Structure 1
């Protein structure tokens, strides 16, 4: 059994390496002047998007960041911030290898030895991959609505062979290519099936068993370790399925999790349990899955806290921790 696990681990890492030659500059950093030091962390912060994600769509004049308004705000408050662009639809290992090259690029640009990594959705397991292969590069890992334990939404999609084939075709040949074209990185590989397998409950369980971390507790009723070997772990998530009826993209995405989880303890795509990782800042914000990154264009509930403020406060938290 142990031997088969080792072989599976080697195979998955090899698959990632096979696609690792597709690299992309991680220099999407806001061109703004710092006016304060509230968010000035010791180590740079690299943000990693989830499924169907991007660093930025469009140019500097007409465009939208995945982490909408977050990076410029942190930069104005003294942080050194970058946004990664990995495949919008691929396995954790392939995305992880792409991210690794960008991590090393940021380290070279900044002259630092470590980074603070923040991953949303599938970006959560993706940043975990860096700690697996290059733990010395990690100062902290923060998951936001992370699919650390998977989502039954992926299981539901994979369980219907006809539906899965249709979703894969649309995603692989239409949605994925449009995203990579709009983000000016058309060479990134796209594979919806591998993406769904990675964030499924079974796929996530296999990944966690092969690469255990103290940041994930044995059950959702417990908390994972907040630090290990000098590296720190944090997370937060939302539990709302609808916050703004005018945000049509968010409304569409947020109807998925209630199909399998009901209307409680999920952000419309990822269950609360899956997102709990390390020190849980809070796991019941009035956010949908896209609200967690301030999309689309900052539309959310009038009564929920500003997501940009949460990221700014977290950068200050990292700063005070000496990270």
Structure 2
């Protein structure tokens, strides 16, 4: 956490490693979801409401590690991808249906744009240094979403 803080633009903010582990545990996530249920899926693997009663639109997209070598692109040079492949193998509930850190269906919030893109966890935000599979292009996903929001009048 100190390394992340050091690399962050907000390096003076306090870090709580134990607290973050608690919040990201199944118990911590369940507590959060009970307190803030907006956009949650009614059934596992389903979708939540696109528009909640609080006037907020909810959308989600995520990826899974597919190990399709033809489409890996620069991911083959990304050391974090190799680490996430190993971590993804430890999943029980969503084995072969995770991005190395988060299970596919755990990412479903509101209207699901897609949850099976060939992307590991950092690929979704075009990290590291743009090393991601050839398809989909994370930048295009964000641009498409901006257009989607524009047509909703947001």
Q: What displacement does 1:298 show?
A: 1.1
1:255 corresponds to 2:86: yes
Structure 1 distance, partners of 2:138, 2:105, is 20
> Structure 1 runs of 4+ off > 6 angstroms?
none
Q: What displacement does 1:181 show?
A: 2.6
Question: What residue number does 1:220 align with?
Answer: 44
Quick check: which has more Rg, 1 or 2? 1
2:7 to 182, 204, 223: 182
Question: What residue number does 2:104 align with?
Answer: 272
CA offsets 1:14-73 (integer angstroms, 9 cap, x no match): xxxxxxxxxxxxxxxxxxxxxxxxxxxxxxxxxxxxxxxxxxxxxxxxxxxxxxxxxxxx
Corresponding pairs, count: 146
Question: What residue number does 1:209 align with?
Answer: 34
Does the CA contact (< 8 Å) of 2:41 and 2:48 recur in 1?
yes
Does the CA contact (< 8 Å) of 1:241 and 1:255 recur in 2?
no
CA offsets 1:171-200 (integer angstroms, 9 cap, x no match): xxxxx2233233343321111111111111
Q: What displacement does 1:241 show?
A: 5.7
| Pair 184,205 (structure 1): closer, same or farther in 2 beyond 3 Å | closer
Question: What residue number does 1:74 align with?
Answer: none
Structure 1 distance, partners of 2:104, 2:131, is 22
Structure 1 distance, partners of 2:79, 2:13, is 27
TM-score, normalised relative to structure 1: 0.43
Structure 2 distance, partners of 1:227, 1:293, is 24
Question: What residue number does 1:168 align with?
Answer: none
Structure 1 distance, partners of 2:9, 2:115, is 34
| Pair 263,221 (structure 1): closer, same or farther in 2 beyond 3 Å | closer
Alignment of 1:48-87 (within 5 A): none
Unaligned runs of 5+ in 2: none
Question: What residue number does 1:236 align with?
Answer: 61
CA offsets 1:87-128 (integer angstroms, 9 cap, x no match): xxxxxxxxxxxxxxxxxxxxxxxxxxxxxxxxxxxxxxxxxx
More strand by share: 1
Structure 2 distance, partners of 1:185, 1:217, is 33
Does the CA contact (< 8 Å) of 2:84 and 2:99 recur in 1?
no
Structure 2 distance, partners of 1:313, 1:260, is 31
Question: What residue number does 1:313 align with?
Answer: 144
TM-score, normalised relative to structure 2: 0.85
The alignment yields a C-alpha RMSD, in angstroms, of 1.8
Structure 1 distance, partners of 2:126, 2:114, is 17
Unaligned runs of 5+ in 1: 1-175
Q: What displacement does 1:296 show?
A: 1.0
